[in-house]
């Protein structure tokens, strides 16, 4: 059978729901963290560390130079003031990065507590031997029973057990891990709560999932992303340009009889180069990954976070992602001559003996939509209950000479006809319509003094999760195309796709079909994101630009993806995309602010330096600063303080609102471009007013 991709019929979008992602404000910036991170910031003054950022290395060099010059002239308070604020600028830049890294240390400490030196029961032939967990190697088989810690990462190859993964996911509810299928992976440091399992080790000591998490949340394993590298090159180029400009400025100053001191030239250079974004660039990247960690998503690289921000096609599984993953009762459809309440009452009564999710959903629907009171089996005295079984595919109750049954259409039809009744034509029509729509029809029948007869049909369907249409509409405003992937037939897939509001769907999908779809999208220049949890998803996860593996999935899936969702919530992919976009927007916004800042500082320093020689330049002194010294010092102080002021924004991120690229660009220019121009004029003027009151600085 050929597999095709279809687009559902467009439907009117509902209003968008609440913006996902962006993080909770609480705990995003703790002023006390500044003090705790101060020792790390001082250690980062090492020139070998500073050299990684060309902009801040120039600031460090300027700080050292002015220190030497101030030491040669101890009585020059202006020189000492410039020196002090240049060192503070360097320290504040390091502090921003240290604070960002420090936010991951608490989680790293928690993870280290989970990384124990557990003793493993390694299987040797038919025997077991106890060995330290650090002696285990890939391929070893270990036995874990109730109360045991899992000694290393692996896959369950025998048995089924309840496992406490709270040390990893933070969720107290235990999870089931069993051999075979897509829920076989276990993580070292988790605890088995019941039963017995045999685990095949899949990671060497020191390379386990927890070890990788510790390195990533501490920032130790974070590599610069391509965008960061490109921005670094741009900032380095601007630094070289301004360095040349400052160097060539001195000959002109000498010629004009206004030779400038090296202290002033160093201050000028630091104020003109893009120190603000240079200081915050690393912190922005670390904070972006930290926002994912806060949502229990582990990104294997910063590149994956950035790619999430550029995703244009999103592949989502139907079951469990777009839909609830289990069939739910959606509607009672009575036949002619039967009221809806009569059908709902019989359906409720016959479902009390059905403990399946479908049976419970029938009871809930009857109570919710028809106002029936809640009933319990112990209320029905003398009742004979017929529990649901896979063999009979029916449930029901015999009470007071009345027999009630609910179940699969074939089973209930056979029960009714076996008792001399018949199925009315409208019940057959309803059953066929539900089946064609991709749902599951259940018949409800009774036998009483009027004989055996069918009361109506229950429409079971895999219910679309609440708010999904709004979230897909939100993604559409982001410029992201959504594709639902399902193994259902095209008719069912189309019905669910139309209800959910996705842009496209892939029906009767196989692993090869997923790969082919991803490659087609990428060939068109689009970045693709997808989720998966099974070994058969591994090739597609590896091929996708953003592959989010579920923590409940197999080791193969987690190795193939570049992100792991510790909560195993496939819908979180939508939040991951929003966080990626927020990271890119934050970096762009602060870059815009920084460059605009430099333009404003130019108007503060240059006129102050040469207005005495070239009176015409005084027209550029639009801030009417008190003196050349206070103007230069005010600009240096503002340059340092603005870094501290922007640390919370770098860590929290600029709020992302779904919009087109042109609209976001206009917003960035209006808010951060204009703000970057205006803020220095106000800030430098206020600082100048304060400095002008200090004797000896005028």
Secondary structure letter of residue 314 according to DSSP: E
- Chain centroid to CA 192: 29
Q: How many residues does the chain have?
A: 698
Per DSSP, the three-state class of 417 is: helix
394 assigned binding-site residue: yes
d(CA 340, CA 364): 15
196 assigned binding-site residue: no
Both tokens of residue 292? 């994912």
388 assigned binding-site residue: yes
Please report, to the nearest 10 degrees, the dihedral formed by the alpha carbons of residues 534, 536, 537, 540 taken in order: 170
Which stretch of DSSP H or E encloses residue 547?
Answer: strand 546-550
State the DSSP string of 357-384: HHHHHHHHHHHHHH-PPP--GGGSTT-E
Q: In the beta sheet, which residues pair with residue 316?
A: 484
Catalytic residue, chosen from 317, 488, 503, 545, is: 317
Q: 204 phi and psi, to 5 degrees?
A: -75, 155
310 in active site? no
Four-residue CA torsion sign, 160, 164, 169, 171: positive
Nearest Cα to 599, choosing from 512, 673, 500?
Answer: 673
Both tokens of residue 570? 């496939």
Q: 554 phi and psi, to 5 degrees?
A: -80, 160
d(CA 151, CA 128): 15
390 assigned binding-site residue: yes
Per DSSP, the three-state class of 406 is: strand
395 assigned binding-site residue: yes
With both helix axes pointing from N to C terminus, report the angle between 628-652 and 77-102 in degrees, rounded to the nearest 10: 0
361 assigned binding-site residue: no
Nearest Cα to 553, choosing from 69, 540, 90?
Answer: 540
Residues 6+ apart with CB under 8 A from 672: 589, 590, 592, 593, 596
Residues 6+ apart with CB under 8 A from 358: 326, 327, 328, 329, 442, 460
| Count helices and strands in the chain by DSSP H and E runs | 24, 22
328 assigned binding-site residue: no
d(CA 529, CA 532): 10
Per DSSP, the three-state class of 388 is: coil
406 assigned binding-site residue: yes
Residues 6+ apart with CB under 8 A from 297: 548, 563, 564, 565, 566, 572, 576
Strands (E), 232-348: 297-299, 313-317, 323-334
436 assigned binding-site residue: no
Residue 262 near residue 250, CB atoms below 8 Å: no
Half-sphere exposure of 170 (CA within 13 A, CB side): 11
389 assigned binding-site residue: yes
Name the burial class of residue 283, with classes exposed (0-12), middle (13-18) and buried (19+) by CB atoms within 10 angstroms of its CB. buried
Cα Rg of the chain (Å, integer): 34
263 assigned binding-site residue: no
Residue 121 near residue 136, CB atoms below 8 Å: no
Residue 185 near residue 199, CB atoms below 8 Å: no
Residue 389 near residue 377, CB atoms below 8 Å: no
State the DSSP string of 36-90: HHHHHHHHTT-HHHHTTSHHHHHHHHHHHHHHHHHHHSTT-HHHHHHHHHHHHHH
d(CA 130, CA 118): 10
Residue 476 near residue 496, CB atoms below 8 Å: no
Q: Which residues are catalytic?
A: 317
Annotated binding site for Mg(2+): 533, 537
Annotated binding site for ATP: 354, 358, 388-395, 406
Annotated binding site: 354, 358, 388-395, 406, 533, 537
């Amino acid at each position: 059978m050929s597999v095709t991709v279809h687009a559902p019929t467009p439907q009117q979008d509902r209003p968008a729901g609440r913006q996902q992602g962006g993080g909770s404000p609480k705990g995003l910036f703790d002023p006390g963290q500044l003090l705790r991170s101060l020792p790390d910031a001082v250690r980062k003054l090492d020139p070998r560390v500073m050299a990684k950022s060309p902009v801040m290395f120039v600031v460090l060099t300027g700080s050292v130079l002015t220190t030497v010059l101030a030491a040669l002239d101890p009585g020059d308070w202006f020189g000492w003031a410039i020196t002090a604020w240049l060192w503070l600028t360097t320290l504040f830049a390091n502090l921003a990065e240290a604070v960002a890294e420090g936010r991951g240390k608490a989680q790293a400490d928690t993870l280290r507590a989970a990384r124990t030196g557990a003793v493993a029961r390694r299987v040797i032939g038919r025997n077991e031997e106890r060995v330290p967990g650090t002696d285990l190697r890939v391929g070893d088989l270990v036995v874990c029973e109730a109360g045991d810690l899992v000694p290393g990462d692996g896959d369950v190859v025998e048995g089924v057990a309840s496992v406490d993964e709270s040390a990893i996911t933070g969720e107290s509810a235990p999870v089931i891990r069993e051999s075979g299928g897509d829920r076989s992976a276990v993580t070292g440091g988790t605890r088995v709560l019941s039963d017995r399992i045999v685990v095949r080790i899949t990671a060497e000591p020191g390379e386990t999932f927890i070890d990788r998490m510790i390195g990533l949340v501490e920032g130790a394993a974070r590599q610069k992303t391509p965008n960061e590298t490109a921005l670094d090159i741009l900032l380095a180029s601007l630094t070289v340009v301004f360095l040349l400009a400052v160097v060539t400025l001195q000959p002109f100053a000498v010629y004009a009889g206004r030779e400038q001191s090296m202290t002033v030239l160093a201050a000028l250079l630091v104020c003109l180069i893009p120190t603000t974004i240079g200081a915050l660039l690393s912190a922005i990247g670390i904070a972006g990954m930290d926002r994912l960690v806060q949502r229990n998503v582990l990104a294997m690289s910063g590149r994956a976070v950035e790619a999430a921000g550029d995703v244009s096609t999103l592949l989502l599984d139907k079951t469990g992602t777009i839909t609830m993953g289990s069939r739910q009762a959606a509607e009672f459809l009575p036949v002619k001559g039967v009221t809806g309440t009569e059908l709902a009452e019989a359906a409720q009564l016959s479902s009390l003996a059905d403990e399946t999710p479908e049976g419970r959903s029938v009871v809930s629907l009857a109570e919710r939509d028809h106002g029936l009171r809640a009933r319990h089996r112990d209320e029905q005295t003398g009742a004979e209950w017929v529990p649901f079984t896979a063999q009979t595919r029916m449930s029901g109750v015999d009470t007071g000479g009345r027999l009630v049954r609910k179940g699969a259409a074939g089973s209930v039809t056979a029960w009714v006809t076996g008792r001399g009744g018949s199925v009315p034509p409208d019940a057959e029509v309803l059953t066929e319509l539900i089946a064609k729509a991709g749902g599951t029809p259940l018949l409800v029948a009774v036998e009483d003094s009027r004989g055996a007869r069918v009361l109506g049909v229950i429409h079971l369907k895999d219910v679309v999760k609440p708010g999904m249409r709004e979230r897909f509409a939100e993604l559409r405003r982001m410029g992201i195309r959504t594709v639902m992937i399902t193994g259902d037939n095209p008719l069912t897939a189309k019905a669910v796709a139309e209800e959910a509001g996705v842009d496209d769907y892939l029906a009767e999908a196989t692993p090869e079909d997923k790969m082919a779809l991803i490659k087609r999208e990428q060939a068109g220049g689009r970045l693709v994101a997808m989720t998966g949890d099974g070994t058969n998803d591994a090739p597609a996860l590896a091929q996708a630009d953003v592959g989010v593996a579920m923590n409940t999935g197999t080791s193969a899936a987690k190795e193939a993806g570049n992100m792991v969702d510790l909560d195993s919530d496939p819908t979180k992919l939508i939040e991951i995309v929003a966080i990626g976009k927020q990271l890119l927007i934050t970096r762009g916004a602060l870059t815009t602010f920084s460059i605009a800042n430099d333009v404003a500082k130019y108007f503060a320093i240059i006129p102050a330096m040469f207005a005495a020689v070239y009176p015409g330049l005084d027209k550029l002194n639009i801030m009417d600063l008190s003196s050349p010294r206070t103007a230069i010092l005010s600009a240096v102080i503002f340059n340092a303080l603005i870094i501290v002021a922007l640390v919370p924004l770098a860590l929290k991120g600029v709020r992302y609102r779904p919009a087109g690229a042109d609209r976001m660009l206009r917003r960035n220019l209006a808010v951060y471009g204009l703000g970057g121009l205006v803020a220095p004029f106000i800030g430098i003027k206020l600082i100048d007013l304060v400095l002008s009151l200090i004797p000896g600085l005028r």
